[in-house]
Every structure is written in C-alpha cells, then in structure tokens.
Structure 1
Amino acid sequence: MVLPVGRSFYVTTDYGRVKGFRYAADNGRPDAPVVVVQGGISGTGQLWRLDGSGWWQSLYDAFAETEDLQVISFDYLGGLGGSTTPEQPLTVEQHALAYLQALEKLGVDRIHGWVGGSFGGVLGLQAASLKQGPPIDRLTVIGAAHKPSIQSSLLRSFQQLLLQNCDCEQQGVVLARALAMLSYRNADEFERRFEHPDDALEYLLAQGERLLQRHGKQANKLFTHLTPILNDYHIDVRQITCPVQLVSFSSDTIAPPALVSELEALLPDCDSYVSIETPFGHDGFIKNVADYQTSLSQYLPQLAETHV
C-alpha cells in the first residue's frame, strides 16, 4: 500500500534547489517503478497527508492499494513550497528540465507514468516533448493543453494589472487570487451554490485572504513567478512519442474542451480521451477525481495490476 505520507528530500538543479516528496509502501523497494504526480501552480509536493489535508488528497485512492510503486512530486521553483525562487521567472521548458534533472539526480532512469493536473499537465507535455532526462512511458494530462486559451490569458493579465495598480501589495494578492478562483469555477456552480452575489464575492475574497494567511509574502510569488509564464508557452506536442491520456471538463475555461480536442488531434499517440460533465469548471481535476479514477487506473499499468 502506498502510504499517504511522503518523505521529503532536496535536489540541487541548474535552475535552483528543488524540494520533493516520495510516497511508497512502508516496505517499498528504492528502485520501484516511479510515477510523477504534479498539480496546479498553487500546489506543493505534499499531495497526501494522514489528516486528509493534502493538496491533491482526492487522488490518493487511485494509488493507495498499489504495492510496488513510488510516487514522486515536487514543489515548484518559485511556488508556495520549499523549492527556491529563481531571481527571474523560469519558462515552462526550464521548469520541466529542472524536475527531469532532479529525477536523474535521484537515480530515476525511467518515468513509468506522469500524471499532471493543470500546470502539472502542461509540464508533463513539455517534459515528454523534450527528449531529455528519464523517458516517460505514459502521460496523463488532466485539465491542461499545449497552449493557453485566450480567455485564461486575459484573466491572468487582469491579475497582473490588479497587482500593479493596488497601492497595497497584500490587497493585490487577495484580489488576484479571488479572480483566479472565479476563473476556476463555472457560472452554473455559482448559481447553485450562492443565493446572492454578495455571498459569492465574500467567498472569493475569503479564498484570497486564506492564501495570504497561509503563505504570507510567499503568496506573491504565484503572480510574479508562475502565473505569468502560462501566458506565453506553446509546446510542440508532435515530438511526443509516448502514449497520452487526456482528461477534459465540460465547463473548464482554463483548458476548454475545444483546446483539448485540438491537442488530441496534434498528438502522435493519444491513447484515450476522457470528457467529463461537471459544474466545477477547471477545478474538476480535483473535484471530479472519482469520474476519471477508473480510466486512470486502467491506463497506468502499475495501477491496473491492482485494480483488476
């Protein structure tokens, strides 16, 4: 059983010192097959925790019963975890190279699976296209595409404008995060969940305040080192030779289904495409794990052996 507790480690790369976490069975082999799991820009390598408060806790059940496997996840350089913050923001390609280099230094010579949600999915596509570092046998991309949608780029641009025009940096972070949360969800969900716009506004601002309270000045890095780079990337996915599984969400405005379908057409080997109806928008990659867990378990051989 893969334990919901990760052992932390640090690796120095050409791009900065990376903090990561390794999840394995208590008697797991150090050379057991490796699956990399990466989440969104606000995520950390602490995917799962005993108290259920891990960043991507809902994904744990997909891996829990697997014996001969180790899951590795990294804090993002310039993100909210323990990795260092480069003086200048890295590109998407540099991020992918940093984590591939970290895996090499850990002695990983093959990535049996890469499961990426949101930014983690973008990085998976980039890593698989580079032909550098450990090869990736199978890639699952959840709520992500090979380039940004126009609407998501506009929303991120408005976040930058908020930060630049707020007299108080902390207030800028709160408003930028609130706008981000608005873009992650769907209009139908807001109608269903809130009786009045003021209630919805209070919820969004509370999410911004929560980010600030948890991470202090570090929260600003999301909008200086990670968010902007997602406005300027384009991955040549025709270079990807491994099989790819795509998961999209009907109400996602960050990685809309039309853009994911475009990605599907460009990929040399799109093994499966799972489309999910959900009111949760982009957050479907966290909220709707139960709807794609079976497909994911069947797609990754290391999980399929356990879920026959």
Structure 2
Amino acid sequence: MVQPVARSFYANTPFARLKGYRYGDPDKPVVVVQGGISASGQIWKADESGWWQSLHPLFSELTDVQVISFDYPGGIGGSECPSVPLTVQQHSEAIRHALKQETDNLQAWIGGSFGGVLGLQYAADHPTELPRLSAIGAAHKPSVHSALLRYFQQALIQRCDDKQSGIILARALAMLSYRTAEEFEQRFNHADDAFEYLLYQGEKLLKQNGNGCRSLFTHLTPILNDYSINPTRVQAKVQLVDFNNDAIAPPSLVNELESLLPNPFGRVTIETPFGHDGFIKNVEQYQSALTHFLTESELESV
C-alpha cells in the first residue's frame, strides 16, 4: 500500500533546483505523478488535502511501486523559480535529471493536464526510458481556444496596475476556462453568483500563496501557448483519458494525438460537466482503466 505520506527531497538540475516528494518504498519501481500548473508535489496528504487527493485510492491498493512527484520551477511549492521561464522541454528535462539521481527503475508516468504534456515530452525525447504513460486531459499541442484564454490571463497580469488584482482576475479567468457552461448553468442561478465564485478562487490562490503565485502566469501559463510534441517519436505504451467538453485538451486534438501514437493503449472519453477539471473531479470514472493500465503486465522490480 502506498501511504499518503511523503518524504521530501531536493535535486539540483541544470535548469533549476527541484523539490520532490516520495511516497512509498524507495526500493520499488517508480511511477511519476504530475498534476497541473498550480499543482504541488504534495499530491496526497494524510489529512486528505493533497493537490490530487482523489487519485490516491488507486495507489492505496498497490504494494509494488513507489510514487515520486515534483513541484514545478516557477510554480507553487519549493522548487526554484528561474529568472527566465523554462520551456516545456526544459521542464521535462529538469524532472529527468532529478529522477536520474533517485532511481534507475522508472516504470510509468501519470500526468494530468500540464503533467500529461510533460509526460508526452519526456517520452518523445527519450523513447527508450519510459515504458508507459497515462496522459489525462493533455494533448501534444495547445488548442487555439486555450491559447487565446491564456493570452488574456497574461494581459491581465501585465496591464493591471494593482498586481494582486491582476493575479485574482487571471486566476478567475483560468478557472472559467477549466470548467463548462453546463456546470455553471447547473450550479448558479445568476451570473453575479458565478462571478463571485470565480473571484473567490482567485482570492483563494493569492491568500494561500502570496504574490509569489504571480509566477504561475509569467513562468508557466505562457509556455503552454506554443509547445509542439511529435507523437510519432513516443515509443511508450500510452493511455489517453479525455473529457467531452474540455477546452484545454479538446477531443479533436486527442483524436489527432491518438492517430499519431505508435503504441496507443486504449482511450477513455468521459462525459462530464467539469470540462478540463474532470481529470481531478472524475477520477472514479477512469480509475479502473488506469489501474488496469498500471497492472496489466506486472511492473518489474529491480
């Protein structure tokens, strides 16, 4: 059983100093788990307040793996914020350098949103190093719609005289892009209530992380506007999980990704009112497929 309690560590890389978290026996094969741009490597906590806590029940039943997760450079957490934003490829390389210091038995990568993009980048750049990848709510390139939404987030950060207001509004717009019109119709009786909810999410981010969270919109959000990964280079078995009304990784892009992958290993498309945030909200609906993906062929011990 992989307990929801982590031991933290640091790793120096050519790109930034990374803070990592290890869950489980350090002698077991490694599964990397990476979440979205606002994620911490503290994906699970004993008090159930981890960033991707809903994923832990899957791992609570596994005894033959350990899990490693990292804070992102320029993100929320203990990793270094470089003076110049890293590219998607450099983020992937930073994690690779950190992993090389911790293990020689990388068996799988589970990535949600940004974490899935980095998993695809890693697998494309180092085809022989990653046996399997589950990319959840992620594609090999950005959708035009999602890039436009991020452009507006960056404009808010750059043009608001009040820096805190810029953070609040940029986060509110990001939250709007992660969810769907269907959810807002079901959840709110009036647009004023929905607007207050979105502003609250921005204020919550600022309150919990201070002005340092501005780097989410200067160091991470912009790099997702122009990345491009060649899926034909990916030799890993790749499982895809996508969501019917996801504006960030729409099914049309996931269709294209699936058609280009040499070794696709099934796809789960989920109907959800939560849009992109389905990767957190709808874990129960893809948990059995993900469990099968991780265990269909026993992960080899060292």
Give the TM-score of the pair, scaled to structure 2: 0.97
Question: What is residue 209 of structure 1 aligned with on the other side?
Answer: 203
Q: Where does 1:120-135 land on structure 2 (aligned, <5 Å)?
A: 120-131=115-126, 135=129
- Aligned partners of 2:117 and 2:242: how far apart in 1? 13
Select 1:80's aligned residue among 71, 76, 82: 76
Unmatched segments (≥5 aa) in structure 2: none
Q: Secondary structure at the match of 2:106?
A: coil
1:231 to 221, 225, 231: 225
The residue that corresponds to 2:89 in the other structure is: 93
Aligned partner of 2:50: which letter? G
Which amino acid counterpart does residue 126 of structure 1 have in structure 2? Q
Runs of 4+ in structure 1 off by over 3 angstroms are 302-305
Shift of 1:217: 1.4
Mapped pair 1:283 → 2:277:
yes
Question: Is 1:45 equivalent to 2:41 in the alignment?
Answer: yes
Which residue number in structure 2 is paired with residue 10 of structure 1?
Answer: 10
Identity %: 60
1:123 match: secondary structure = helix
Unaligned runs of 5+ in 1: none
1:243 aligns with 2:241: no
CA distance in 2, matches of 1:174, 1:277: 30
Residues 216-264 of structure 1 show CA distances to partners (whole Å, capped at 9, x for unaligned) of 1111000000000000100011100111000000010000011101100
Tell me the residue number matched to 2:108. Answer: 113
Distance 1:102 1:191 in 2: 44
Over aligned residues, Cα RMSD in angstroms?
Answer: 1.3
* Counterpart check, 1:154 vs 2:183: no
SS of residue matched to 1:3: coil
**2:113 maps to amino acid:** S
C-alpha distance in structure 2 between counterparts of 1:39 and 1:140, whole Å: 12
**Which of 237, 262, 265 is the aligned partner of 1:268?**
262
Name the residue aligned to 1:167.
Answer: 161
- Secondary structure of the structure 2 residue equivalent to 1:300: helix
SS at match of 1:244: strand
SS of the equivalent of 2:22 reads: strand
- Alignment: residue pair count: 299
